[in-house]
Amino acid sequence: MQLNHYLNFQGETEAAFNFYKSVFGGEFSNLTRYGEMPAQEGVTLSEADKNLILHVSLPINAFTELMGSDTNDQFCAQNNSIFTPGNNHYISINLNAHEQDEAKRLFDALSVNGQIEMPLEKTFWGALYGAFTDQFGIKWMVNCQLEAM
């Protein structure tokens, strides 16, 4: 299991992560834009929104990745997760395919008396993923990668 930091920005993810890359070195292990998402019913993205970062990962060392994304009101507003300074950080638990039971256990245990933002379910990026705020106000993501990226 890895515990990683996940940062949210409001249109500044690319600039921030290019800066972090200049400081830490290395290359992005993943960079996906909103425009690369499969079409979703009721969701229309402007050209500017399509260019925003849906997910970026920058390996810091063998045990840590710094990850982040730009918030998008079409996906966040429905869950009362609109960006405000102070709620732009998650603890991200990253697991491998053989750890699906552990992903479910951690999601269920940590989210008790909390607020689920996205239920733990299979995603288009080949993972079992869910997000929530725990009963103490800490934001968490559980990502169990099922398929190679």
Give how far the C-alpha of residue 4 lies from the chain's centroid of Cα atoms, to the nearest Å.
10
Residue range 64-109, pLDDT digits in tens? 899 999 987 665 544 445 566 666 688 889 899 999 999 999 999 9
What's 38's domain CATH number?
3.10.180.10
Where in the sequence is the domain holding 36, given as residue range(s)?
2-145
Overall number of domains in the chain? 1
Q: Residue 86 corresponds to which tokens in the numbers above?
A: 């102070």
Whether pTM exceeds 0.85:
no
DSSP for residue 99: G
The pLDDT of 27-48, averaged and rounded, is 89
The partner residues of 139 in beta bridges, in order of sequence, read 133
Region for residue 113 given its phi and psi (left: phi exceeds 0; alpha: psi -120 to 50; beta: otherwise): left
The mean predicted confidence, pLDDT, of the chain is 86
**Side-chain half-sphere of 80: how many Cα atoms within 13 Å?**
6
Predicted pLDDT of residue 138 = 79
The partner residues of 143 in beta bridges, in order of sequence, read 94, 129
